[in-house]
A and B are shown apart, each in its own frame.
Chain A
Amino acid sequence: MGGPAAPAVQLDSPISPYFQYCLNATDTNIVPESLERVVSHVKILKTIVVLLPVVMSASAANAQDLAEEITELRRVLAEVRQDYESRINDLEERLTRAERMAQGARRDADEAFEIAEQTAIDQSAGTSAANTFNPAIGAVLVARLADLDNGWEDIPGFLPSGETGPGSSGFSLGESEINFNAIVDSNFFGNLTLAVESEDGETEIGLEEAWIQTTGLPYGATVTAGRFFSESGYLNKFHRHADDFVDRPLPYQAFFGGQYIADGLQGRWVVPAPLLVELGVEFNWGGGYPATANEDTSPGAVTLFTNIGGDIGMSNSWQFGVSWLSVDVKERESGVPGDSFSGDSDLGIVDFVWKWAPGGNPTLTNLKVQAEYFHRSEDGVFGGLDYNDDQMGWYLQGVWQFAQRWRGGYRHDVVDVDNGSLPMGTILEDPGRSSKRDSLMLDWSPSEFSRLRVQYARDQVLPETDTQWFLQYIMSIGAHGAHEF
């Protein structure tokens, strides 16, 4: 950081303008005290210079001596001058520094004033104490306009599971959702989600989620209790409004009735590892499909799950999950009197998600590919008959954000049954073919809080192909949503 080398001083060099200014300065008020001293010294210097010729003529006898003396004098002169110049430089520097400091001090003073003012404003703003502790509140408004050829309500070969099918043509409100969440205290986090739905002219308020979660447990452990979205599968834990398509993939409709919601406990543990390795277990006492209501002390359904995930380079990240859901089914209704299922139902799900964003920055463009495979074995009694059969399903979808606010996506979803053990004529009769769909979607998000979507589906759930068009809006108000992976 060393400054530039001081220029070599030469006697015949012109005097610097600032030096001259100091020599001629008459207004002593503007000359600092030490500068005055410099000026008086310079006057002495002047006298020496004037006297020099006199000295020279007086000692003309010895030219050699004289020459030496002149050299000596020049040297002294140069020294003196160098000394003064460096002192003046020094003073100049001190002056600028003082100016800078004054400037800094003024700025600090301004800032102190502003902070004081701001504090005063903050303190005078009358927020009531009760209001300060409001949780984060958000609401999601969803609606759609559909045009279907025929639509359908049940998937052949599966028991009715709740919400299946593309619904009906025309305009319909989806689930409008209200969410509250906040830190309870230093140990717990709480979340409440209400779903408001209008069906057949009646408004229903459903309790979608109501859970508390520990935040204070060490060693990577978290316990959740209450009503929560199960970790079975990848998509299940997401709210519907976060989906990339208007409707859930067929396996989710067939095996979960859209979403598997558990009433009970969940424990999860993040293993200490450089990758994400997470193990979890869930106990469900509730009656959310595929579980059936249970009044025993032991839970009616148990889920074991694991998620493993990480990054590959800067631009790729992935997650792989396996889950196993075991349900002790007690009289699951089929809609046909007398035909209900009781027994064991075991569902295995393998899921994989891969996300790509250039440089790991998904804001501008990104690509997401996800796939899940479901396999379920059911063993028990259906309508008084022995029943031991398998069902399976999978989907693969890709969504590409090709411009900052635009995304396009494709999905293929399939479900299939192998219900050979049952006689013909029951609702679980094997249709002998798989049900499948192909969907294309395009959505535009004017901001992070609004989304407009159009979706086309070529639906082959029933033997006859159904062409479906959807227009959908999803808007969120209130608290900022989460960017879940």
Chain B
Amino acid sequence: MIRITALLIALFAPFSVSAIEVFACEPEWGSLVEELAGPTAKVTVATTAFQDPHGLQARPSLIAAVRHADFLVCTGADLEVGWLPLLLRRAGNPKIQVGNPGHFLAADFVRRIEIPKRIDRSQGDVHPQGNPHIHLDPRNVRRVADALGVRLAEVDPTNSAYYQSQLDNFQSRWADATLQWEERALALNGMRLASHHRSFSYLAAWLDLDIVATLEPKPGIPASGAQLAALLEQLTPAPPAGVIRTPYENRKPSLWLAERLTIPEIVLPFTIGGTDAAVDLFTLFEEIIRMLEEHNR
């Protein structure tokens, strides 16, 4: 059925629609747009799974891409604070400016966790709006997809019926997949893990994982040798099942700790493209759960 729809769309797309150009800050949102908009959107993704979305620079190629965009999808919650405002100001494109329908921030549609009670930078690079790594909870993806579907229809009204049907289709597949993951993850409840950065807080909250330690003493501040040594001592009596990190984070602290505790260092894909198998949102979660299952003791 899906294949027939896709075929029909592919056949009629050249006649009925001109693709809207979408600029996505992170691969997860690029992929979600592709799920909802299919061939009606041409998606440019600013970052890969191997780039820290917080540390990017406003590169010339990104300015050129934002210049063309009809629609911009980013995480928000200050994740891209260092480069997105610059891109917006340099690109001369009113469609995707703050406050216009073409400016979509995913974090606006979910409940953020780890909102600091106290905001000063003695706490590290904290975000007053809470932890911005929101996409590793499928319930958040569900909420963002709902909002994104509505917004796409607003930006590109000629295809609104198509976006609605794509959204319904996605949500039903997503709900099924989520149920399955949740069922499998019952066995992961309380799995103890150490994490490099607070990149997996939403995943942990969803699956009831127990993040017993974060290697960075404070968000964005690399651990010193002494801090790592203290952490090693603290974890030695009851080592966690593994040390998790994203593909873009410094591997040395995780490796050091993992080797000394004789536990695995687990590089979770974090977003699409993080491993070869994580090609879309479904396979991303599939991979993460599979890898956690593999290392669960």
Binding site for B on A (CB under 8 A): 100, 104, 111, 114-115, 118, 183, 186, 189, 213, 215-222, 268-270, 272-278, 307-311, 314, 317-319, 355, 359-364, 404-405, 446-449, 477, 480-485
Contacts and interface: CB of A to CB of B under 8 A. Distances in A.
A485 B57 contact: yes
Contacts of A189: 89
Given A222-B90, A449-B121, A481-B82, A307 B55 contact: no
Given A270-B91, A270-B92, A404 B250 contact: yes
A100 B82 CA distance: 42
B60 A275 contact: yes
Interface of B: 47-48, 50-52, 54-61, 63-64, 67-68, 78, 81-83, 85-86, 88-94, 97-100, 111, 121, 124-125, 139, 179, 182-183, 220-222, 248, 250
B208 to A, nearest CB: 10
A359 B250 CA distance: 13
A337 to B, nearest CB: 46
Chain B interface main SS type: loop
Contacts of A104: 179, 182
Contacts of B82: 480-483
A278 B92 CA distance: 11
21 contacts: A186-B99, A216-B94, A216-B97, A222-B89, A270-B64, A270-B92, A273-B64, A309-B60, A314-B48, A317-B59, A355-B57, A360-B47, A360-B48, A363-B52, A446-B221, A448-B125, A448-B220, A477-B121, A481-B82, A483-B56, A483-B82
A220 B93 contact: yes
A482 B97 CA distance: 17
Nearest to B111: A115
Contacts of B94: 215-218
A361 B51 contact: yes
Contact of B60 (A276, A448, A480): A276
Contacts of B220: 447-448
Contacts of B52: 361, 363
Contact of B222 (A404, A482, A485): A404
Contacts of A483: 55-58, 82-83, 86
A61 to B, nearest CB: 58
Given A100-B183, A480-B78, A118 B111 contact: yes
Q: Which of A319, A363, A449 has the most CB of B within 10 A?
A: A363
A480 B78 CA distance: 9
Contacts, number: 136
Given A310-B64, A311-B59, 18 more contacts: A104-B182, A115-B111, A118-B111, A218-B92, A219-B92, A222-B92, A272-B67, A276-B61, A319-B60, A355-B59, A361-B50, A362-B55, A363-B248, A447-B221, A449-B121, A482-B83, A483-B58, A484-B86
A483 B54 CA distance: 10
Contacts of B88: 215
A274 B64 contact: yes
B222 A309 contact: no
> Nearest 8 pairs between A and B by C-beta?
A309-B60, A276-B60, A363-B55, A483-B82, A220-B92, A359-B50, A276-B64, A363-B52
A214 to B, nearest CB: 8
Contacts of B63: 270, 276, 278, 309
A125 to B, nearest CB: 12
A177 B50 CA distance: 35
A363 to B, nearest CB: 4
Nearest to A482: B86
A364 B250 contact: yes
Contacts of B183: 100
A482 B54 CA distance: 11
A413 B2 CA distance: 63
Contacts of A477: 121
Nearest to B81: A480
A404 to B, nearest CB: 5
Given A270-B90, A275-B64, A447-B121, A359 B51 contact: yes
Contacts of B222: 404-405
A215 B60 CA distance: 18
Contact of B57 (A100, A362, A364): A362
A362 B97 contact: no
Nearest to A309: B60
Nearest to A478: B121
Nearest to A274: B64
Contacts of B78: 480
A270 to B, nearest CB: 5
A310 B125 CA distance: 29
A307 B60 contact: yes
B92 A482 contact: no
A217 B97 CA distance: 11
Given A216-B94, A276-B61, A100 B51 contact: no
A395 B200 CA distance: 45
Contacts of A308: 60
A361 B250 CA distance: 11
A190 to B, nearest CB: 11
B57 A484 contact: yes
A361 B248 contact: yes
B92 A269 contact: yes
A276 B78 CA distance: 25
A341 B73 CA distance: 54
Contacts of A405: 222
